[in-house]
Structure 1
Amino acid sequence: MLQRTSATPRVSAPELLDFVRRAAADTELIDSLPLDPEGRTWVRLDGPGGSEAWLIGWPPGTGTGWHDHAESQGAFATAHGTLRENALAVRLPASGWKTLELADGVDRERELTAGQGRAFGRHHVHEVFNESRTEHAVSVHAYYPPLPLIRRFSRSGAVLRLEQVERPEDWQ
């Protein structure tokens, strides 16, 4: 007779979204983040069910550039200020490519003000940035499973190019 082994707990995208929204509403947590006038700041948080979570401060004019989170699903919520997300409605191959030509109509754009959040699935390609010229933004992000890597891309028109692969030791 086969015995079942307990599987690794799985955290759903809605659970991640619920967590980031609750954390973004925690004014004591948000106020604890040191803000730098020039560079992004971040503090690692304990996410639900073994997920990876971050509290991030965004000075005016800063952003992530185009990237994905590999096999991790995620969510983020804006706690203060406004963040803009540009995303691609296309699933990229997991590996084996350096340059892709994107089809027309794959671009998506959204603005997330304080209290707003969104969840996303695996291989979600996006860039997030604070367009404000004067105001910091603060957000909470969570990923499950914890990020195995981040792929960074450059984009010129319809051409997306893989530029770099970062591993956890690069940002911890």
Structure 2
Amino acid sequence: MKRDRPEPDLLAVAARWAADPAGWPVPLRFDPAERWYARLAVAADHEVWALSWLPGQGTDLHDHGGSAGAFVVLAGALNEETVGGGRLRAHRLAAGSGRRFGVRHVHQVTNRGDVPAVSVHVYRPALRRMTRYALADGRLRVAEVAEAGIAW
């Protein structure tokens, strides 16, 4: 009888990668022009990314194209804003904290602090597309659909 392996806890996977940046296959770097990111690993059921954020750098409001995920803040702090009740709700994530999210999660993440931040993100399945949104009159409106291999 075939035994199915349990799916890994994505937050635990992110925490393991965050605990050993010296073991990453690419060196961490900071880009003053734009937020830096690099894929650290890909497995059959998930992928792992590192991101660096200089003060003021952030993402647009976006989803993960049907992928669930998790991320851990390794250094600095990040502000995550999610949509609720037709407006953005802010959550601050300090170094050492993280969160899981489901396949329908829409958020934007920004370094609003005055020191650089680093985070590790894990997605299941691997990202194939991301939809960017605008919040207008309390409603999400699709602004762009970005495809893996083309947009990143």
Same fold per TM (> 0.5)?
yes
Instruction: Report the equivalent of 1:19.
Output: 13
Q: Is the 8 A contact 1:77 1:139 kept in 2?
A: yes
Largest Rg, 1 or 2: 1
Matched residues in 1 for 2:142 and 2:59: separation? 15
Q: How far is 1:159 from its partner? A: 2.7
Return the letter of the residue paired with 1:19: V
Q: Which runs of 5+ in 2 are unaligned?
A: none
Find the partner of 2:33 among 15, 38, 48. Answer: 38
1:7-26 C-alpha deviation (Å, 9 max, x unpaired): 8x7735xx110011121222
Instruction: Report the equivalent of 2:119.
Output: 139
Return the letter of the residue paired with 1:24: A
Which runs of structure 2 are paired with 1:1-172 in the superposition (5 Å)? 11-12=7-8, 15-29=9-23, 32-47=27-42, 49-89=44-84, 103=85, 107-132=88-113, 134-172=114-152
Q: Is the 8 A contact 1:75 1:117 kept in 2?
A: yes
Identity of counterpart residues, as a percentage? Answer: 36
What is the root-mean-square deviation of aligned Cα atoms in Å? 2.5
Distance 1:65 1:10, change over 3 A: farther
> Which has the higher relative contact order, 1 or 2, with Cα contacts under 8 A spaced 6 or more apart?
1
Q: Normalized against structure 1, the TM-score is what? A: 0.77
Distance 1:48 1:19, change over 3 A: farther
Q: Secondary structure at the match of 1:55?
A: strand
Matched residues in 2 for 1:37 and 1:10: separation? 40
Distance 1:6 1:84, change over 3 A: same
Matched residues in 1 for 2:106 and 2:119: separation? 18
Matched residues in 1 for 2:88 and 2:6: separation? 30
> Which is strand-richer, 1 or 2?
2
1:45-72 C-alpha deviation (Å, 9 max, x unpaired): 1155531211001111011110001211
Q: Secondary structure at the match of 2:14?
A: helix
Q: Secondary structure at the match of 1:131?
A: coil
Return the letter of the residue paired with 1:110: H
